[in-house]
Amino acid sequence: MSTLTETPAPHRQAPWFWLALGVIAWVAAYAALAPFADAVIASVGLTKQTHLGESVHFFFYDTPKVLLLLTGIVFVMGVIHTFIAPERTRALLSGRRLGVGNVMAATLGIVTPFCSCSAVPLFIGFLSAGVPLGVTFSFLISAPMVNEIALALLFGLFGWKVAAIYLGLGLSVAIVAGLVIGRLNMEDHLEDWVRVMQGTQSAEFDATNQSWAERLDAGLAHVKNIVGKVWPYILLGIAVGAAIHGYVPEDFMASIMGKDAPWWSLPAAVVIGVPMYSNAAGIIPIVEALLGKGAALGTVLAFMMSVIALSLPEMIILRKVLKPRLIATFVGVVAAGILLVGYVFNALL
Amino acid sequence: MQIKVLGTGCANCRNTIALIEEAARGKGVTIELTKVEDIKDIMNYGVMSTPGVVIDGKVVHAGGIPSRDKIDSWLK
């Protein structure tokens, strides 16, 4: 067993003053969003009564709003991540039974730092520490699907209700899919070398002894990393949304993906979504375009979940640890869950 | 000194390698840098979140790109 030794960083005062200043600036900017957009269209001589004015106003209102929300939420998540290393999540889940364990795993999936390239080491790390297979799957489904970027973008573009629904449904899919996979007792369908690995010890990593200065640094680094990567998608998404907002007739997509669309429209959306691979930011422009043209929210959210949660590259990586039958079960169970969520959602609203 | 970077070839792992090389050049320290990409080997170090860094057989970092300060503190 090897132990991780944290190299102590030189102690310095956390920049609380700058943090407070940043929060004040953030709140002030958020409060100034509508006046800002009004001023922009007024300065170029447009009014909200025209199509063009409406589109331009939408763009200059939504872009700063979404970027502000994203920056705020990503910063907070970056700081939270310093408290919850994957090693800690694993310790919390180790030996949990199905049920409680699945709920905890799905919830921890939201706050645990996760990169899809770490999916396989995490998977094995969890199993080897005695986290049951079904509980591990709940984590593996929830971590990429229900993340702060998806929630921040949904919140910024479509309001807190859509974000809350996505959060609730995403967690439900992760919990139920994990429970089902756990019940099927498919431990035999792990690759042999993975089963040998179970019970081996892993490095201990104590992330709790960081100073607040380091935690705030981590938050900033997270913002730089994430916002730096996703802003072009957001601009594109909002530009598409703005164009639709002003011009395209509302019910353009209604007959294919709307509430009164034929029954196969939802499965088709999920099936199309599986081989597609994108992160939450990349899919948002499409979501916005579909919703703007009258597609039903349940169908669109199901499509978004299937793009983010199930992807071919991920299957190929998972193939190293799972035998084909377990991968097929994983895809089948998750796709069925997403489908169910879509139907329920379309029926309720 | 022998430095190993554990990772399955994602962008963060490549960044980590570049950062370490740059820091070593800056400090004039000779290092032997190797990539460990096989998932079994990575797991044998007990690292769950990549990229991880191993120096002379000891895991010193895991789960993200290490900061420059941290790298400098290794290269003594």
How far apart (Å, rounded) are the C-alpha atoms in residues A26 and A126?
A: 38
Q: Are A118 and B49 a contacting pair at CB < 8 A? A: yes
- CA distance linking residue A326 with residue A187, whole number of Å: 9
Q: Which residue has the tokens 């429209």?
A: A265
Q: Which two tokens stand for residue A40?
A: 């922009």
pLDDT of the residue at A1? 41
* pLDDT tens digits along A26-40: 999 988 888 888 888
Kindly give, in sequence order, each residue whose CB lies less than 8 Å from that of residue A93, ignoring residues fewer than 6 positions away: A101, A104, A105, A108, A126, A131, A135, A136, A139
A217 touches chain B (CB under 8 A): yes
Q: How many CB atoms lie within 10 A of CB A13?
A: 9
Q: Chain B partners of A120 at a C-beta cutoff of 8 Å?
A: 8, 39
* Interchain pair B46, A200: CB under 8 A: yes
Q: For residue B70, give the 3-state DSSP assignment.
A: helix
Question: Which among A2, A87, A122 has the least Cβ separation from residue B58?
Answer: A2
Which position has the token pair 């998806």? A150
- The contacts of residue A81 (CB under 8 Å, 6+ apart) are A111, A112, A113, A218, A222
Assigned token pair, A86: 């994957």
The alpha carbon of residue A283 and the mean position of all alpha carbons in its chain are separated, in whole angstroms, by 11
Asked if omega into A249 is within 30° of 0 (cis), the reply is no
To the nearest whole Å, the CA of A206 is away from the closest chain B CA by 11
Closest to A55 measured CA to CA, from A244, A221, A303, A233? A244
Please say whether the beta carbons of A82 and B14 come within 8 A. no
DSSP-derived secondary structure letter, A321: T
Identify all chain B residues contacting A317, using CB atoms and an 8 Å cutoff.
Answer: 8
**Range of lowest pLDDT (A199-203, A224-228, A340-344):** A199-203
Residue A150's pLDDT is what?
A: 83
Unique residue bearing structure tokens 């573009």: A157
pLDDT at position A172, please?
A: 92
Other CB atoms within a 10 A radius of the CB of residue A164 amount to 13
| pTM for this prediction | 0.79
Q: CB neighbours (10 Å) of residue B21? A: 14
Q: Which residues in chain A are contacts of B48 at CB distance < 8 A? A: 86-87, 90, 118, 121-122, 124-126, 202
Residue A202 pLDDT class (50, 70, 90 cuts):
low
CB contact A62 to B (< 8 Å): no
List of chain B residues whose C-beta atoms are within 8 Å of the C-beta of residue A193: 40
Q: How far apart are CA A268 and CA A289, in angstroms?
A: 18
Q: With contact defined as beta carbons under 8 Å apart, do B34 and B3 qualify?
A: yes
Long-range contacts from A188-193, C-beta under 8 angstroms, 24+ separation: A189/A322, A189/A323, A189/A325, A189/A326, A189/A329, A190/A127, A190/A133, A190/A321, A190/A322, A190/A323, A190/A326, A191/A320, A191/A321, A191/A322, A191/A323, A193/B40
Q: ipTM of this model? A: 0.70
For A104-161, the DSSP string reads HHHHHHHHS---GGGHHHHHHHHHHTT--HHHHHHHHHHHHHS-HHHHHHHHHHH-HH
- B-chain residues within 8 Å CB-CB of A201? 46
CB A117 within 8 A of CB B8: yes
Mean of pLDDT values over B41-50: 78
CA distance A22 to chain B (A): 23
Kindly determine whether residue A193 and residue B60, on different chains, have CB atoms separated by under 8 Å.
no
Q: Domain coordinates of chain A in residue numbers?
A: 48-199+211-348
Per-domain boundaries in chain B? 2-74
What is the mean pLDDT of the segment spanning B42-55? 81
Tell me whether A190 touches chain B (CB under 8 Å).
Answer: no
The answer for A 290-329 residues in CB contact with B (under 8 A) is 317, 320-321
Contact of A349 with A298, CB cutoff 8 Å: yes
Chain A residues close to B72, C-beta within 8 Å: none
Chain B residues with CB within 8 Å of chain A CB: 7-13, 39-40, 42-43, 45-50, 58-64, 67, 69-70, 73-74
Predicted local distance difference test score (pLDDT) of residue A24 = 93
Q: How far apart are CA A246 and CA A158, in angstroms?
A: 17
DSSP B54: E
Per-residue model confidence as pLDDT tens digits over A81-113: 888 878 788 888 888 888 889 999 999 988 887
Q: Tell me whether residues A4 and B61 touch, CB distance under 8 A.
A: yes
pLDDT at A2: 46
Q: Does domain B2-74 have CATH number 3.40.30.10?
A: yes
Maximum pairwise Cα distance, chain A: 71
Per the CB < 8 A criterion, the answer to whether A185 and A173 are in contact is no
**Per residue in A212-268, pLDDT tens?**
888 888 888 888 888 888 888 888 878 877 777 666 666 666 667 777 777 888 888
Q: Give the mean pLDDT of chain A.
A: 82
Residue A7 structure tokens: 């190299």
Is B43's pLDDT higher than 60? yes
B48 closest CB neighbour out of A9, A121, A217? A121
Cross-chain Cβ contact B64/A128 below 8 Å: no
Q: Cβ of B48 and A90 within 8 Å? A: yes
